[in-house]
């Protein structure tokens, strides 16, 4: 299989037989301190292969070769798996913005303020037409048994409720629908409709206390919307298909543990606690530093574990669960931000109310990343456009220091929009690095202590098969 990552060892010019690790054509295993009292990690970065070795056994593991022989037998399979994950997928989801408008003015939003304030709705007629065009596209590209996803996103999609609901009704057999909303407009009838259509619902909440949450989740008059969100959460209680997104900023990071208690008490099935994206300059005002953010984030994760032990009920934090999956089952990832190239333009793309197509919602405010228009161009043509390929061609191998980082395929060097806008180019890192380093180290500590299943959602491995096991005593 020829891949974009093909290296010198494939072309037959090097005489090394690859018998030894870390020299010649041998595999590269990098020892990584994971901060565990007993274990150190050995990572082969290209295939995302890892092992945890007791400190006192490191020398014998490195010289006896049992682990490396077992790895060598599987290296080809792992290489193909990573290549498929990184370069072989087709889009199966669309982030569909049915309006430019929002009733909130959160400081970290990636949609430009003017657009959110003065923007336009997509008409119901155009929305129905767009769904029809997307249905036709996916019919051409996806296997018959795969149902594509449409996620109504924003700005605030519920501001264009009638059009959105009409689209969901008309195409209920053709797509799996989701909606990400600020929850301020989720009244009883809206929740009843979305539940009846099995729509996956994501809502946004940054803290359990109004005083904290209202620092960032505010309307155009500067008033917080915390109370409205809590009311919507009560309406959603008992429904399996909902989740809460918290954006970690310097305004709320000290209160994440309290938020975990709150979400668990409200029986939230799953949540995301994402570090703020810094694509637009206004986000920088609320950007926390990596070390502080991770300290509080890890405390929140630890709290989910304590609550699980106390009650038997998990609260998976989806973005961290995804890092764990990147390690133990790379293809089982649900989020495609922490793989390189990221999912933008290759696993999903974003649609704006006037039909413009972008690799990801994160690029909607950046006109140079418009790849075409759904009503004028074929999606296939848009996917190969230069604005899209700038994103889909961005690989960790081209980014410093990621190209020499052992955990490059557990982190993926997010996010290209940040790299470009905040740091000046696609070959740059995004806004955070140490935050991801620490997450990976923590994930390995959990694996070493065999606690990691408590951080993953039940049934995550139902469709998986074991491809490697080595437990040496």
Which residue of 15, 221, 309, 424 would you call a contact of another protein, by CB under 8 A? 309
Quick one: which segment of 13-21, 89-97, 286-294, 375-383 binds another protein (CB under 8 A)? 89-97
| Nearer CB in complex with another protein: 12/312 | 312
Burial class (CB in 10 A: 0-12, 13-18, 19+), 145: exposed
The reply on whether position 299 binds another protein by CB under 8 A is no
From 277, 287, 303, 390, residue interacting with another protein (rule: CB under 8 A): 277
Q: CA 145 to CA 157: how far, in whole Å?
A: 28
Restricting to residues 4-43, name those near another protein by CB under 8 A. 38-39
Q: Which of 227, 240, 367, 384 binds another protein (CB under 8 A)?
A: 240
- Cα–Cα distances in Å, from 470 out to 39, 49, 55, 131? 15, 12, 17, 48
The one among 336, 351, 431, 456 contacting another protein by CB under 8 A:
336
Q: Is 88 helix (H, G, I), strand (E, B) or coil?
A: coil
Q: Give the list of residues 6+ apart from residue 237 with CB closer than 8 angstroms, or none.
A: 266, 267
CB contact at 8 A, 252 and 276: no
* Interior angle at CA 68, CA 62 and CA 73, nearest 5: 175
Strand 270-275 with 242-248, pairing: parallel
Beta strands 39-44 and 49-54, pairing class: antiparallel
Is residue 159 at the binding interface for another protein, with CB under 8 A as the rule?
no
Nearest approach in angstroms of CB 15 to another protein is 30
Binding residues with another protein: total (CB under 8 A): 86
Chosen residue from 180, 340, 392, 429 binding another protein by CB under 8 A? 180
H/E segment holding residue 295: helix 290-311
- Quickly tell me which residue has 């909902």 as its tokens: 242
200 binds another protein (CB under 8 A): yes
Smallest distance, Å, CB 341 to another protein?
Answer: 13
Q: Which of 337, 379, 407, 419 binds another protein (CB under 8 A)?
A: 337
The residue from 268, 447, 455, 456 that contacts another protein (CB under 8 A) is 447
| Positions 241 through 270 that interact with another protein (CB under 8 A) | 241, 243, 245, 269-270
Contact flag: residue 471 with another protein (CB under 8 A): yes
89, 128, 142, 433: which one contacts another protein (CB under 8 A)? Answer: 89
Residues 47-86 that bind another protein (CB under 8 A): 49-54, 57, 61, 67, 78, 81, 84-85
CA distance 375 to 426: 29
The interaxial angle of helices 318-328 and 434-448, nearest 10 deg, is: 70
Please list, in sequence order, all residues whose beta carbon lies within 8 angstroms of the beta carbon of residue 104, skipping any fewer than 6 positions away: 116, 156, 182, 184, 217, 218, 219, 220, 225
Q: Which is nearer to another protein, 1 or 211 (CB)?
A: 1
List beta partners, residue 388.
Answer: none
Task: Give the footprint of another protein on residues 406-445 (CB under 8 A).
Answer: 414-415
Does 145 bind another protein (CB under 8 A)? Our answer is no
Spatial CA neighbour of 128 closest among 172, 84, 63, 179: 172
| Stretch of 117-125, 343-351, 382-390, 395-403 lying at the interface with another protein (CB under 8 A) | 343-351
Q: Is the peptide bond prior to 155 cis by the omega test (within 30 degrees of 0)?
A: yes
Strand, coil or helix: 431:
coil
Angle subtended at Cα 24 by Cα 88 and Cα 67, rounded to the nearest 5 degrees: 70
For the bound state, the minimum distance from the C-beta of residue 198 to another protein, rounded and expressed in Å, comes to 5
Work out whether 92 is an interface residue with another protein (CB under 8 A). yes
User: Is the Cβ of residue 218 or residue 329 nearer to another protein in the bound state?
Assistant: 329
CB of 11 to another protein, least distance (A): 28
461 binds another protein (CB under 8 A): yes
Answer yes or no whether residue 168 interacts with another protein by CB under 8 A.
Answer: no
CA distance 291 to 250: 12
């Amino acid at each position: 299989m020829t891949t974009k990552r093909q290296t010198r060892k494939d072309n037959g010019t090097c005489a090394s037989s690859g018998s030894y690790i870390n020299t010649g054509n041998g595999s590269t295993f990098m020892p990584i301190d994971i901060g565990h009292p007993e274990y150190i990690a050995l990572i082969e970065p290209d295939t995302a292969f890892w092992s945890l070795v007791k400190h006192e056994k490191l020398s014998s593991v490195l010289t006896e070769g049992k682990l490396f022989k077992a790895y060598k037998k599987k290296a080809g399979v792992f290489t193909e798996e990573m290549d498929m994950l990184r370069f072989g997928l087709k889009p199966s989801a669309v982030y569909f913005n049915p309006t430019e408008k929002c009733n909130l003015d959160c400081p970290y939003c990636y949609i430009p303020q003017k657009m959110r304030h003065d923007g336009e709705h997509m008409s119901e007629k155009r929305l129905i037409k767009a769904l029809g065009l997307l249905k036709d596209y996916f019919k051409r590209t996806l296997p018959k048994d795969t149902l594509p996803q449409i996620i109504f996103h924003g700005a605030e999609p519920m501001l264009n409720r009638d059009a959105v609901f009409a689209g969901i009704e008309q195409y209920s057999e053709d797509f799996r629908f989701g909606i990400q909303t600020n929850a301020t407009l989720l009244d009883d009838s809206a929740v009843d409709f979305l539940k009846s259509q099995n729509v996956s619902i994501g809502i946004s909440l940054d803290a359990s206390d109004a005083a904290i949450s209202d620092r960032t989740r505010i309307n155009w008059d500067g008033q917080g919307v915390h109370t409205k969100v809590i009311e919507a959460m009560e309406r959603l209680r008992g429904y399996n298909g909902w989740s809460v997104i918290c954006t970690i900023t310097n305004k709320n990071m000290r209160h994440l543990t309290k938020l975990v208690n709150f979400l668990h008490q409200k029986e939230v099935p799953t949540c995301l606690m994402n570090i703020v994206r810094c694509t637009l300059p206004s986000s920088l005002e609320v950007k926390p530093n990596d070390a502080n953010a991770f300290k509080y984030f890890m405390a929140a994760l630890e709290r989910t574990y304590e609550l699980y032990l106390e009650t038997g009920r998990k609260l998976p934090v989806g973005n961290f669960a995804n890092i764990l999956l990147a390690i133990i089952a790379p293809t089982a990832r649900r989020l495609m931000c922490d793989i390189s190239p990221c999912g933008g333009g290759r696993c999903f793309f974003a649609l704006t109310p006037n039909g413009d197509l972008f690799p990801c919602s994160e690029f909607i405010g950046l006109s140079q990343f418009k790849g075409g228009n759904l009503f004028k161009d074929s999606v296939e043509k848009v996917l190969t456009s230069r604005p899209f390929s700038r994103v889909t061609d961005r690989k960790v191998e081209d980014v410093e220091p990621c190209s020499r980082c052992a955990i490059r395929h557990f982190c993926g060097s997010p996010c290209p929009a940040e790299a470009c806008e905040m740091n000046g180019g696609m070959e740059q890192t995004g806004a955070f690095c140490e935050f991801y380093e620490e997450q990976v180290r923590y994930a390995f500590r959990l694996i070493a202590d065999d606690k990691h299943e408590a951080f993953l959602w039940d049934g995550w491995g139902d469709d998986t098969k074991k491809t490697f096991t080595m437990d040496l005593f």
